[in-house]
Structure 1
Amino acid sequence: MKIFFILIFVFLTIIIKAQIGFDVVYEADYKLTYKDQITNATTQEDAFALLMNTKESYYKNMKKYIMDSLKLEKKVSEKSDLGIGMKYSTDFPEYIGTTIGKIYITTPISNKIFKYEEINNINWDLSNEFKIIGKYKCQKAMTKKYGRTWIAWFTEEIPFPFGPYKFNKLPGLILEVYDDKKDYIFSMYSFKKRKYFAKSANMEPKATLVNKSKIFDYQRREIADPNTYNKLIDDPETLRFLMKKAQERAKNYNPIELSPN
């Protein structure tokens, strides 16, 4: 009986630990160059950290990574001023955990936190084409996923089957991946060995579980939400102008995923 309770305790400890952090062995950092609008888009950039061990990976925006670490160290609070919030704001606030079977996504929308899961079923067609990226020999692969055709370059010299965003399941780390229109281009700029427990991996373990299709609806409605402006602007003419611009932005919305699958 005593052994039974010890096993239960160990099991619960593992679950609790998984909910609040992540055992990091390696870290790959990526730059994203992207266009979030179909027409008249300007190129923008952002950066991300991919934390890995032999069984799973955890991916988050670099600004969120820094902000969450500062929160854990009590250097900023949830009620920090607007300036700090803007400094660490990003178009990509989601946390993405990847295992061999599933992908787990947590994302804020309209000041609420949601989460959803996907079956990790991405399939790649490998090519006989190779190139050198940095000091690594890379092989080309292609897939159709989330409404786009994606081209990836991976290296077996780093034998981790992970990559930026939700891209994974290749025989080595993905160093570069982009869609065929080059609206979204991920490029690795740093790879290093790490050995620590990242407490700031998932800061929202109590997020509301929803179907992925709901997230698509929420994100598109949020872009043209009139309440965004009604709370801040009293002048009717200015409000109409901003609403028109918001509707144009919603029409030309160019997210990384054009379809749920």
Structure 2
Amino acid sequence: MIMNFTNKQILRIIFLFYFSISFSQIAKSDSLRGEFIYLLKYKPNTLNENYIRKELFSLQIGDNRAFFISENKLKIDSVFSSAYNNKAENFVLDFTNIPTGSNFLIIQTNEHSQFYETVGMSLLSYNSYIIDNWKLIDENKVINSITCKKAEVHYKGRDWTAWYATEIPFPYGPYKFSGLPGLIVKITDKTGDYDFELVKSISSSNVKGKMITINKRHYQNAKLVTKKELVEARKNFRENSKHQLESMGTVFSQDPKDNFRERQKVNEAQKKGHNPIELED
């Protein structure tokens, strides 16, 4: 039987089996002390300054650690969980209204931040040091009705300006940013290529008595690697996944405009202008 798939369907096909055997594993060991939603706006490619991507992330704070994860990733978990709990024989997993999101989880503690990412069928992880070279600045600003203080830091090749709220006494923030005497409400790099801003917070009364329910398949039993090794694994997976599916009889849809040379040009342009959040290892 010959199957026809578009490129966007590839990853969902490969991950389907992995999700189906692990999505029911939920960790409930952390009491939920705070939940905050951040909007990330960023420019993925410097050759197209007008193209800005947007994505929502959830920061769930427990007693001793905080979890930072894409809202789209949580929605996918919810779809699988619902299908599993209903135990329908011929259930349909509908991802139509769930855009592809960032495929990572970051767990912050007072000692370090741990980065997790599923690459193919493997869960990989690397450790990052806590940011301890913040420069606190005597300047205040009100952002979304929250009084904030200013701080600056140079991190992984970018200069960042953060605004944090001492009235929200959590030393965490979006991505790997933590270590300030209050929750980070907004943080932007000097070029304006990356910007995180708090857009929603769950009231303390609504989190009281609740637990963090991040699916433990996102971080349990991960293989510890270096950041360089994870990036290399990600690259190899992308290059090999199509060949593996073709060997199984998959035929990829062909757009008349999407010929080999044009794809090469696009890929080369993307590589030249690739604009990661971390510019240094």
Closer, same or farther: CA 144–221 of 1 in aligned 2, 3 Å: farther
Counterpart selection for 1:200 from 205, 214, 226: 214
What root-mean-square deviation, in Å, do the aligned CA atoms of Structure 1 and Structure 2 show? 2.9
| Residue 27 of structure 1 pairs with residue 38 of structure 2 | no
1:218 Cα deviation from its structure 2 partner: 3.7
Q: Is residue 2:136 matched to residue 1:126?
A: yes
The runs of at least 4 consecutive aligned structure 1 residues that moved more than 4 Å come to 80-83, 219-223, 226-231, 233-237
- The match for 2:100 among 72, 77, 89 is 89
Between the aligned partners of 1:221 and 1:250, the Cα distance in structure 2 is: 15
CA–CA distance in 1 between the matches of 2:48 and 2:231? 23
> Residues 227 and 25 of structure 1: is their aligned pair in 2 closer, same or farther, counting only changes over 3 Å?
closer
Q: Does 1:190 align with 2:200?
A: yes
Alignment counterpart, residue 149 of structure 1, candidates 141, 154, 159: 159
Inter-partner Cα distance in structure 2 for 1:185 and 1:142: 14
Please state if 1:216 is matched with 2:231.
yes
Compared CA separation, residues 189 and 217, structure 1 to 2 (3 A): same
Matched, 1:55 2:64: yes
TM-score (norm 1): 0.80
Contiguous gaps of at least 5 residues in structure 1:
1-18
**How far 1:216 moved relative to its partner?**
3.0
How many residue pairs get aligned? The number is 239
Which protein, 1 or 2, shows the higher relative CO under an 8 Å CA cutoff with sep ≥ 6?
A: 2
For residues 200 and 131 of structure 2, the distance between their equivalents in structure 1, rounded to whole angstroms, comes to 27
Secondary structure in structure 2 of the residue aligned to 1:213: helix
Partner of 1:169: 179
SS in 2 for 1:24: coil
**What TM-score do you get using the length of structure 2 for normalisation?**
0.75
1:244 to 247, 250, 265: 265
Structure 1 equivalent of residue 75 of structure 2: 66
Where structure 2 has 5 or more consecutive residues not aligned to the other structure, the ranges are 1-25, 247-251
Q: Do the aligned residues in 2 keep the contact of 1:131 with 1:138 (CA within 8 Å)? A: yes
Query: Contact (CA 8 Å) 2:75, 2:98: kept in 1 or not?
Result: no
Task: Report the counterpart of residue 5 of structure 1 in structure 2.
Answer: none
Which piece of structure 1 moves more, 164-173 or 127-136? 127-136
How much has 1:84 moved relative to structure 2? Answer: 1.4
Give the structure 2 partner of residue 140 of structure 1.
150
Rounded to whole Å, the distance in 1 between the matches of 2:122 and 2:182 is 36
For residue 37 of structure 1, report the CA deviation from its aligned partner. Answer: 0.5
After superposition, what is the alpha-carbon deviation per residue over 1:212-257, rounded to whole angstroms, capped at 9, x for unaligned?
Answer: 121233445667x376489436799812321331122122111111
Report if the CA contact (8 A) 1:95-1:202 is conserved.
Answer: no
Partner residue in 1 for 2:5 = none
Among the aligned pairs, what percent are the same residue? 26
